[in-house]
Chain A
Amino acid sequence: MTGGKVLLEVKNLKQYFPIKGGLIGRTINHVKAVDDVSFTVHEGETLSIVGESGSGKTTIGRSIIRLEQANGGSVIFDGEDLLSLSNRQMRKKRKDIQIIFQDPYASLNPRQTVYQIINEAMNIQGVGNKSERRQDILNLMETVGLGAHQIDLHPHQFSGGQRQRIGIARALSVRPKLIICDEAVSALDVSIQAQVLNLLKKLQRKYMLTYLFISHDLGVVRHISDRIIVMYLGKIMEVSGKKDLFETPGHPYTYALLSSIPSTKPTGEKKERIILHGDMPSPITPPSGCPFHTRCPYAFSACDKTLPPFYEARENQQVSCHLLKKGPVDFTELRKAEDF
């Protein structure tokens, strides 16, 4: 899967949100939502970004398609830096990059029919032949599992899962190369979530799509991704292939995150739990050094002083943690030895 052509390269992306205050409302501080983040997405793969609320994962997606104006860095898509395009050029680029949001209802115009919603997207990007438009839209609807008889219905006449399908059909209609799925299945019940996940996989195979999949649900992420980025307080903790991340997590935060998820395995191998203490610190005043050190059970003297560089834990697994200076760490063994 990896090793394909690089489709998207994010370099040193910074997204700060100003906090106004003081007498004349000047900027007194920043929320560093995304702080110096770099990664690449290869053609045809699914790269997921996971993290808890406040980690900055959603902001990354919004910065890439310039729903937010990034404060620094570059976003190279298909050889062009999106951040340096004019607004007009960027509008054209949006044909190649589509985004699907968590709440399909809020992102669909309630006064439009399915036909109008999809037609509008195609018109703006000038896709397809107008005379065959209706047929194209019917085909799209069939692809995403909506019936032809539903073409003139309005969003409120659909269920949540079906609305998400409309959102997917709209995104697909302009034949994008990259689709950013921002918590796209989070609001759905599990049985519907499974339907939409299967659909996304089917479409990826059919159209050679590339996904940047943003989610807090590690089960979903394990199911759909090839590679995964773990974020904490606006910084990347770990970038890893799927298998390595779940079987031999490289970063203590990843390990804690995985062990926090309630297991549905019936009996027997109940895993050893790590329960992190306290809350995530405020992104306005992030801790010095490694942002995770305030909650990390393994933190030592170096951790609050310098931000750890990325160490290669395994092939395809980069981890930002001082513990890895002398090579990868097996946390399960470490816990047995230390008995927390």
Chain B
Amino acid sequence: MEKDKDIVLQVENLQTSFFTEDGELKAVNDVSFSIEKGQSLGIVGESGSGKSITSLSILRLLTGTTGKIIGGKILFKGEDLTTFSEKKMQSIRGNRISMIFQEPMTSLNPTITIGEQIAEVIRGHQKKDRKSAWEDAVKMLSGVGIPEPEKRAKQYPFQLSGGMRQRVMIAIAISCQPELLIADEPTTALDVTIQAQILSLIKKIQRRSGGALVMITHDLGVIAETCDAVAVMYCGKIVEYASVAELFESPKHPYTMGLLNSIPSHETDSEEDLYIIDGQVPSPYELPNGCLFAPRCPYAKEICQNALPELLNLYGNRLVRCHMQQTEGRELEHDRWKSPSGS
């Protein structure tokens, strides 16, 4: 197909497990998605959904943990990253695929100057001498909106605020103009006014570079703000995939509906109770046999307890993993959530 040329990343049936004393923990369980040039894809889920492990798997950064990719392909520009040698991966990381992490306070090396932490990536991937790499680093700092970049470049992370440090992280990530940028909860640790600054910076950078962006977050607001398409994850699996507009307008999976309904909005008044999803996320060691969401789902029928539903394509890349959508193909009544069942 003509369009395939534009596909930057295609993840196929990715499986990542952790092997702990308590047994195998299937953190990412058969996850597939793809992302095109210029597109931004959100991956949203609560803690334990496997969203962050997905991103670490793409860059093969599970070093030092018991985690392993045990199946599937990660096609980056048609090449399968899971078959790459460590040496070859190093030439990809920070160069063609970059990552921004959640904790700006701890993600920068405390004993190395900010300028050097940026210049290091530039030197590592491009044939530049110390001086011109440093000059580039200063340019990167001013590019991410840090005032007095020459002075700041010589400073250490502790001399910068949280927002500033996240800007430095972004500068590091984009210094080699990556084709894919993965942002893992980039604003979770920041105050809202700073979050707004950082999100607008990330959007601006993406527009300018035309690269692809994967935004990983638990915050649906951040998704709405920055993404074109969104994948909802629950217990290591994608349960729904849609364009952002469609997801918020007509969620198809009961989990997505519940999630959207349980966020208290700052934009609407409600004297009523919040809709809630009963119970809690199942332990990753004792996952249910059928649909993973069945124990908490108000629509669950017998089939849901017994068989895992497939990820069904409803129409043009609108995916949902739910028996109710598959067997009956009807709209679930949204108001089923309106009767909070006590607490």
Contact, chains A and B (beta carbon distance below 8 A): yes
The answer to whether A265 touches B218 (Cβ under 8 A) is no
- Count, chain A residues at interface, CB 8 A: 49
When A194-B277, A263-B225, A275-B197 are in contact, do A243 and B266 touch as well, CB less than 8 Å? no
Q: Which of B205-213, B267-275, B308-316 contacts A (4 or more CB under 8 A)?
A: B267-275
In chain B, positions 238-290 with a C-beta closer than 8 Å to chain A are 244-245, 247-249, 258-260, 262-267, 269-270, 273-278, 280-281
A224 CA to B274 CA in the complex, in Å?
10
- A161–B47 CA distance with the chains assembled, in angstroms: 12
Contact A260:B276 (CB < 8 A) given known A189-B218, A279-B164:
no
A279 touches B161 (CB 8 A): yes
- CB-based contact A218/B266 at 8 Å: yes
Asked whether B192 lies within 8 Å of A192 as measured between CB atoms, the reply is no
Flag whether B195 is at the interface (Cβ < 8 A). yes
**Chain B, range 167-210, C-beta contacts under 8 Å to A:** 191-197, 199-200
Expressed in whole angstroms, the Cα–Cα distance for A264 and B268 within the complex equals 11
The answer to whether A25 has its CB under 8 Å from any CB of chain B is no
Contacts known (A189-B46, A219-B264, A256-B193); A262 close to B224, Cβ less than 8 A:
yes
- Cβ-neighbour of A263 out of B191, B245, B267 (below 8 A): B267
Chain A residues numbered 120-134 whose CB sits less than 8 Å from any CB in chain B: none
A53 within 8 A of B: yes
- Known: A52-B191, A161-B280, A219-B266. Contact between A191 and B258, CB under 8 A? yes
Interface string of B67-89 (1 = CB under 8 A from A): 00000000000000000000000
Is B343 interfacial (CB 8 A cutoff)?
Answer: yes
Check A262 against B221 for contact (C-beta < 8 Å).
yes
In whole angstroms, how far apart are the Cα atoms of A218 and B200 in the complex? 20
Q: Which residue of A lies closest to B161 (CB)?
A: A279
- A144 CB contacts on chain B under 8 angstroms: 343
**Distance of A197 Cα from B275 Cα, bound (Å):** 10
- Chain B residues 154 to 174 lying within 8 A of chain A, measured CB to CB, are 161, 163-164
Asked whether A223 is an interface residue with its Cβ less than 8 Å from the other chain, the reply is yes
Chain A residues in 8 Å Cβ range of B219: 262
- B221 near A260 with CB under 8 A, answer no
Residues of chain A with a CB closer than 8 A to B263's CB: 190, 194, 219, 264
- Is the pair A242, B274 in contact by a Cβ cutoff of 8 Å? no
Q: Which of A177-198 contact B (CB under 8 A)?
A: 189-195, 197-198
Say yes or no: is A208 at the interface (Cβ < 8 Å to chain B). no
Task: Give bound CA distance, A202 to B196, whole Å.
Answer: 34
Alpha-carbon gap, A246 to B225, bound state (A): 20
Nearest A residue (CB) for B147: A278
Cα(A264)–Cα(B264), bound, Å: 11
CB-based contact B221/A261 at 8 Å: yes
B245 touches A266 (CB 8 A): yes
Q: Which residues of B contact A220 (CB under 8 A)?
A: 264
**A191-B221 in contact (CB<8A):** no
| Assembly CA distance A267 to B192 (angstroms) | 21
- Give the shortest distance, in Å, between A161 (CB) and chain B (any CB): 6
B220 at the interface (CB under 8 A from A): yes
Bound Cα distance A257, B194 (Å): 10
Q: Does B27 contact A (CB under 8 A)?
A: no
How far, in Å, is B284 (CB) from chain A's closest CB? 13
For the complex, is B222 an interface residue (Cβ under 8 Å from A)?
Answer: yes
Task: Answer yes or no: A201 CB below 8 A from chain B CBs.
Answer: yes
Q: Is the CB of B267 within 8 A of A262?
A: no
Residue of B nearest to A165 (CB): B343
Q: Is A93 an interface residue (CB 8 A)?
A: no
In the bound complex, residues from chain B placing their C-beta under 8 Å from that of A148 are none
Given contacts A189-B46, A194-B276, contact A262 B199 (CB under 8 A): yes
Q: B260: which A residues are within 8 A, CB to CB?
A: 264
Q: Give every chain B residue within 8 A of A275 (Cβ-Cβ).
A: 193, 196-197, 200
Distance in angstroms between the alpha carbons of A191 and B265 in the assembled complex? 14
Pairs of residues from A and B, 9 with the lowest C-beta to C-beta distance, nearest first = A262-B221, A223-B264, A194-B262, A266-B248, A52-B191, A260-B196, A262-B225, A189-B46, A191-B277
Ordered by A's residue number, 17 sampled pairs between the chains whose C-beta atoms are within 8 Å are A52-B193, A190-B259, A191-B46, A191-B280, A194-B262, A194-B274, A223-B264, A223-B274, A262-B219, A263-B224, A264-B221, A264-B267, A266-B244, A267-B249, A273-B196, A275-B200, A276-B197
Interface residues of A (CB under 8 A from B): 52-53, 144-145, 159, 161-162, 189-195, 197-199, 201-202, 216-224, 242-243, 246, 256-267, 273, 275-277, 279-280
Q: Interface of B with A (CB < 8 Å)?
A: 46-47, 161, 163-164, 191-197, 199-200, 218-222, 224-225, 244-245, 247-249, 258-260, 262-267, 269-270, 273-278, 280-281, 340, 342-343
